[in-house]
Chain A
Amino acid sequence: MDENKVNGSENIDEEVLSDEELKLRAEMDELARTFQEELDKAKAEEEIRAAEQAKEQEILIQELEDDVRYDAEAPDEIPEEELCECCGEKRRGTKDNPDSPYCRDCERGLRRYPFELLNVLLVLIVLALSVVACVNFAQRVGIYSAAARAQHLEKQKMLYSAYSAYDNTIGLMKDSELNGELVYQRAVRNMLMINVLDDIGTYEKQFNLFELKLPHLKTAYETFKTYEGYRLAQLDGYQVLYEEIQKLEDDDYSKLPYAEIVGRIDALLSVSTEESYKYQESLGDGAEESPSYLVKIDNYDPAMMEFFKFYAAALSEQDKEVQIAHLEKVRAAYPELTWLYGAFLGDLYNKSGRDVEELCKQIEGYNAEDSTADIIRTTNLRINGKRTDAIALAQKNIDKGSPNAYEFYRQQAICYLLDGNIEKAYSAAASGYEDSQYSVQVCEVYAIASIAAGKTDSYDEIAKLFEENGVKMSDEVLAYKDGTVSLEEIFAQGDYDIQ
């Protein structure tokens, strides 16, 4: 009765419920259904997890049982070929690699093979040493760089710049108390090439004599030998010349007995240098500053002696071909020593009307910074009447800051004198004189330009300078002053220059 009543009332309710209320009820039913589904899913996952745990436990128990069986297995129960190669006590093979020749424990150990303490210590020592090496390298990197820069300049044939760079490098080495023999070797070679001979003897002290005979210092040995050849030739060869000059009653060097001098120099070539060394030692005995020359030569250097034969030939005013022959021998023996023969040979070539270009290229080939080649070219242009070109080439070198600017000014002054441009000639000669007062030829051209320009004060200054230094003014200058010789006769004929 009551049920019917309730059902009856629900039916009545449904009938009386609005659409909105019906929609709300449907949503409530949907929510209840979703909740029930989530609950069922959670229960199912819990069951799966429990099953997995049970399985894991089962595996662990199985492994434990295996381990017990594995450890309990006595070696004599296992066939020999199945024993572990490492321990020889347990069965070989692992779960991951059943074919392994090692048992499980041994394989685990071999994969983490231990380091011996001594090995680790040794490696640490090597690592520490590598740090020390790095510090050493870093401290010296400035010296390496300076030495490399100097060598680069030397390879570029910029020998004057290289000399400065080597000087800087040697300064850095001295500051660091470092004796870089290969740097000294390159530096002395460079010095010999540019005629900076004063320090070569002192640098010999940086080397051990026995080392100088070894191949890696061969260049230094050859350099010292060449230098010693030049030094002895200068000492004893020039002595011959000096003795003959002393015998002259007046200062007329053309009276020098050339053949006799050459004979005496040749005689030196056949004797040992021993006597010369003994004589030098007797002179230097007790003198602290006397350099100890490690490299000694047994005989005089014939090529160096040729240079002093040339000197005798030039002073005694021998034929140009005779002079050229001596210098050609020097050139053939020491082509790299362009400072020794270059300027003289170039001058002789010019005066004898030969082509100078090959010689100029040779000089530049050894030292691109040497302006001797351009001096020879300028003289050549002037002698051949191309005075405008000569002035331009000289100016180019003056503008470059050539250390021989005084000679280029002199050449310009001669060109202007021959062109009749006295004002410019005087100006150029004065500039040359300002640049260097030690060149007799520069002073004499300045004297001629002063006479031409009517600058008696300037001429008197030169005359006084010559007098003070005991130098006799050239006959050509005096003759020009007297009006007995013209500028053309001095500069465009004969030797094309003041003698």
Chain B
Amino acid sequence: MTVIYVIVKYLTIVGTFTKAFFEHLSCRVYEVLVEDGRYLARSEMCGHIEHEFIKKRGVCFGVCFFPFLFNLMLGLMFLSAGAMNILYIGEFYMKSGAANFPSYIYLWLGISMLTNLFPQWEDALTLKELIYSKDSNMFVKIIAAPIFAILYVGSALERTGLTLLTSCGFAFVLVEFYKVLLPAIL
């Protein structure tokens, strides 16, 4: 499973890299002790930062959520341009006859960002422990539920490399979304 995981991570290397960078940034902001700062290690830590066990709920949430948010935003920017150009209007070649590399690159970057959205599985488990412990506030449990569910399920999928498929599928969903949205607003 790790082999597939690492292959997917290297296929989507830009997203892997930025995810690790944003995780590193979050650790630094929250002063979380980083034990291994390599972004592209050939192990299950590829695309993640090895850090100390986080005991504070807010810090753990921040370290899991903000890298997800930043990669999601970048991914949507790239995927919007790439998917609409390639998958919707079909600009496979430019007027000059050369392949439309910019749009292919946007598409790949978008997919690679969206493949690497979720926290490391251990972090997701820690977050679960901290949010859904017995002495945790019920209000927090309810408020955090949607985001936690996304992070938790996404993390489980990312462990198996399945997020590559979900992000490819999302590219088509995004096209359908724009097909409905754009004529309605323009």
Q: With CB as the reference atom, state the residue of chain B lying closest to A134.
A: B77
B89 in contact with A133 (CB, 8 Å): no
Does B84 lie within 8 Å of A137, measured CB to CB? Answer: yes
Structural contact, A111 and B31, CB atoms closer than 8 A: yes
Of the candidate stretches B13-21, B143-151, B158-166, the one touching chain A is B13-21
Is B109 an interface residue when CB atoms closer than 8 A count as contact? yes
Quote the shortest CB–CB distance from A498 to chain B (angstroms).
46
Tell me if B35 counts as interface (CB < 8 A to partner A).
Answer: yes
Tell me the A142-177 residues at the B interface (CB within 8 Å): 142-145, 147-149, 151-152, 173, 177
A:108-165 near B, CB below 8 Å: 110-115, 119, 122-123, 126-127, 129-130, 133-134, 136-137, 140-145, 147-149, 151-152
A141 CB → nearest B CB, Å: 7
Instruction: List the one stretch of A180-188, A326-334, A340-348, A457-465 in contact with chain B.
Output: A180-188
User: B76 to chain A: closest CB distance in Å?
Assistant: 9
Interface check B11, CB cutoff 8 A:
no
User: What is the CA–CA distance of A111 and B74 in the complex, to the nearest angstrom?
Assistant: 27
CB of B34 closer than 8 Å to a CB of A: yes
Name the A residues within 8 Å of B95 (CB-CB).
Answer: 177-179
Query: Is A133 a contact of B27 with CB atoms below 8 Å?
Result: no
Within 8 A of A (CB), among B130-186: 178-180, 182-183, 186
Contact of A126 with B109 at beta-carbon distance under 8 Å, contacts A110-B34, A178-B89 already known: yes
- Which residue on chain A has the smallest CB distance to residue B77? A130
Assess the B90–A216 pair: CB atoms within 8 A: yes
What is the CB-to-nearest-CB distance from B161 to chain A, in angstroms, rounded to a whole number?
Answer: 22
Min Cβ gap B22→A in Å is 8
Asked whether A211 and B92 contact (CB < 8 A) given A111-B32, A148-B183, A149-B183, the answer is yes
Q: Which residues of B contact A369 (CB under 8 A)?
A: none
B88-A147 in contact (CB<8A): yes
Q: Is A4 an interface residue (CB 8 A)?
A: no
Distance between A226 CB and nearest chain B CB, rounded to angstroms: 20
Interface presence of B126 (CB below 8 A): no
A181 and B90: CB pair below 8 A?
A: yes
The answer to whether A179 touches B94 (Cβ under 8 A) is: yes
Q: Provide the residues of chain A in CB contact with B61, threshold 8 Å.
A: none
A423 on the B face (CB < 8 A): no
Pick the residue among A126, A133, A148 that contacts B18 (CB under 8 A): A126
Shortest A181–chain B CB gap in Å is 4
Q: A148-B183, A178-B91 are in contact. Are A137 and B109 (CB under 8 A)?
A: no
- Name A98-112 residues within 8 Å CB distance of B: 102, 107, 110-112
**Smallest CB gap from A102: residue in B:** B33
Q: Which residues of B contact A112 (CB under 8 A)?
A: 28, 31
Residues on the A chain within 8 Å of B102, using CB = 136
Contacts of B178 in A (CB 8 A): 144, 148
Q: Which of A122, A129, A183 has the most chain B CB within a 10 Å cutoff? A: A129
Q: Is the C-beta of A18 less than 8 angstroms from some C-beta in chain B? A: no
Q: Is the CB of A145 within 8 A of B182?
A: yes
The answer, among B21, B32, B81, B180, for a CB contact under 8 Å with A136, is B81
B14 to A126, Cβ gap below 8 A?
yes
A182–B21 Cα distance when bound, in Å, is 37
How many angstroms between the C-alpha atoms of A140 and B90 in the bound complex?
Answer: 13
> Does B106 sit at the interface, judged by CB under 8 A?
yes
Which of A111, A142, A179 sits near B186, CB closer than 8 Å? A142
B90 engages A133 (CB within 8 Å): no
Inter-chain contact B93/A145, CB cutoff 8 Å: no
In angstroms, Cα B85 to Cα A113, docked, is 40
The 8 Å CB contact of A133, one of B24, B28, B106, B179, is B106
Q: Do A182 and B89 touch across chains, with their CB atoms under 8 A apart?
A: yes
Say whether A208 faces chain B, with CB atoms less than 8 Å apart: yes
Contacts of B17 in A (CB 8 A): 119, 122-123
Residues in B with CB closer than 8 Å to A145 are 182-183, 186
Give the complex CA separation of A113 and B24 in angstroms.
Answer: 8
Which residues of B lie under 8 Å from residue A126 when comparing CB positions? Answer: 14, 18, 74, 109
Whether B85 lies near A140 (C-beta < 8 A) is yes
Known A-B contacts A144-B178, A149-B183; the reply to A182 vs B74 at CB < 8 A is no
Known: A110-B34, A126-B14. A148 touches B90 (CB 8 A): no
How far apart are A161's CB and chain B's nearest CB, in angstroms?
Answer: 13
Question: Which residue of chain A lies nearest to B92 when distances are taken between CB atoms in the complex?
Answer: A181
Partner of A141, one of B31, B93, B186: B186
B77, A144: Cβ atoms under 8 Å?
A: no
- B37: Cβ under 8 A from any A Cβ: yes
Task: Give chain B residues whose Cβ lies under 8 Å from the Cβ of A173.
Answer: 89
> What's the nearest-Cβ distance from chain A to residue B172, in Å?
12
Give a binary string over A69-104; 1 marks a CB under 8 Å from any B CB, 0 the rest: 000000000000000000000000000000000100
In the assembled complex, B78 has its CB within 8 A of some CB on chain A: yes
- Which residue on chain A has the smallest CB distance to residue B94? A179
Which residues of chain B are near A134, meaning CB under 8 Å?
Answer: 77, 80-81
Shortest 7 CB-CB contacts between residues of A and residues of B: A182-B90, A180-B89, A113-B34, A181-B90, A145-B182, A133-B81, A145-B186
A-B contact list, 20 entries, CB within 8 Å: A110-B33, A110-B34, A111-B34, A113-B28, A113-B49, A119-B39, A133-B81, A133-B82, A133-B106, A134-B80, A136-B81, A137-B77, A140-B85, A140-B89, A144-B88, A144-B178, A181-B92, A182-B87, A183-B89, A183-B90
- A residues lining the B interface (CB < 8 Å): 102, 107, 110-115, 119, 122-123, 126-127, 129-130, 133-134, 136-137, 140-145, 147-149, 151-152, 173, 177-185, 208, 211, 216
